[in-house]
Homo-oligomer: A and B are copies of this chain.
Amino acid sequence: MSSKVTIHEVARLSGVSIKTVSRVLNREPNVKTDTRTRVQEAVAALNYRPNISARSLAGSKAYLIGVFFDNPSPAYVTDVQLGAIARCREEGYHLIVEPLDSEGDVAAQVEPMLHTLRMDGVILTPPVCDNVAVLDVLEAEGVPYVRLSPDQDQDRSAHVRMDDVRAAYEMTAHLIGLGHTDIGFIKGHPEHGASHLRYEGYVTAMKEHGHAVREDRVEQGWFSFRSGFEAAERLLDRIDRPTAVFASNDDMALGVMAVANRLRLEVPQTLSVAGFDDTPGAKVVWPQLTTVRQPIQAMAAAAADLLLTGATRTEGEAPPSRLLDFELVVRESTGPIG
């Protein structure tokens, strides 16, 4: 219980008023350099840390940023937390995590936490970032928020996203560059916006390179391993089959790999397989999966940054947004034919 040091002790030791200490703490202007130094020394000497409850009770900041999530993948959630905390720590903010139960009334879960804990901002991950009821509550409570990769109504709020179309385009181009012309595609869950964007990238790349998009080369999937497995069976269990398959996410790509194994199709000699997301599973198959990496940590850090700099509070103008670069991760599951 060594934390009995308060702002008063610091003020006394440095011979100034508590208000001046407060100014130094908050990096406010109008403090003589000399005084500032003296206060900082006292802070260090006493190992003083301002009490966050007192600060938020008295002031307008809570030094707390919330991360709301509702069932996305663990790897995604963890990366969001790591990215957000990295930026938050610079300003002395902490992260409150609030898993939401999407089965229940999500808005009803959100409202109480906004009342008790006055967070300075909230980061919303998919799919809760597209839950209109949640956005409504947030706005009614006046809590700034940033959405990560929102599907719908992007102009409604500040958000951070990645260029799915271009990423899918480049992955397709990568396959084409390897010599493939007959490339199968497995679509993602039709209710996820990313599905359409990724498909669009694939189609554009095929067309621009003069390759037909055959109807029997495009299968519907649902982002799950099983749906990828089944789609791959339809695509591959026949004489006339594509030489490469691009699945809209890694889980489905792993399903493709499983089918390839079963059918004794050598990857990548006989079949190239590409995924999307760079989930942990991508490195846990043999051969390792070529995929697209989203800069999730950087996206979360950008979201935190928007919140901390107050950039979300725009008057009239369109809410700020950031578009980050993806990365093509070429591993062993794609290669030239033969």
- Flag if B99 contacts A96 (CB, 8 Å): no
Task: Report whether A49 and B283 are in contact in the complex, using a CB–CB cutoff of 8 Å.
Answer: no
Given contacts A85-B98, A141-B1, contact A262 B286 (CB under 8 A): yes
Alpha-carbon separation in the docked complex, A222 to B54 (Å): 47
Chain A residues 249-295 with CB under 8 Å of chain B are 251, 254-255, 258-259, 261-262, 280-281, 283-286
Q: How many residues of A contact B (CB 8 A)?
A: 55
**Could you tell me which residues of chain A, from 111 to 127, have a CB within 8 Å of some CB in chain B?**
112-118
Judged by a CB distance under 8 angstroms, whether A52 is at the interface is: yes
Across the two chains, which residue of chain B brings its CB closest to A48? B115
The answer on a CB contact under 8 Å between A284 and B225 is yes
Binary B-proximity of A194-235 (CB < 8 A = 1, otherwise 0): 000000000000000000000000000000010001000000
The yes or no answer to A178 lying at the interface (CB within 8 A) is no
CB of A92 within 8 Å of the partner chain: yes
> A49 and B225: CB pair below 8 A?
no
A36-87 interface with B by 8 A CB criterion: 47, 49-54, 56-57, 62-63, 73-75, 77-79, 81-82, 85
When distances are taken between beta carbons in the complex, the residues of chain B under 8 Å from A3 are: 114-115, 118, 141
Would you call A280 and B283 a contact (CB within 8 A)?
no
Give A82 to B72 CA distance when docked, in angstroms. Answer: 13
Q: Does A94 count as interface, using CB distance less than 8 angstroms? A: yes
Among A63, A95, A97, the most chain B Cβ lie within 10 Å of the Cβ of A97
Q: How long is the Cα–Cα vector from A123 to B113 in the complex, in angstroms?
A: 21
Instruction: Report chain B residues within 8 Å CB of A251.
Output: 284
Closest CB-CB distance, A83 to chain B, in whole Å?
A: 10
Hey, which chain B residues are within 8 Å of A96, CB to CB? Answer: 94-97
The reply to whether the CB of A30 lies closer than 8 angstroms to some CB of chain B is no
> From residue 137 to 162 of chain A, which have CB atoms closer than 8 A to chain B?
140-142
A141 contact set on B, CB distance < 8 A: 1-3
B74 touches A280 (CB 8 A): yes
CA distance A157 to B25 in the complex (A): 36
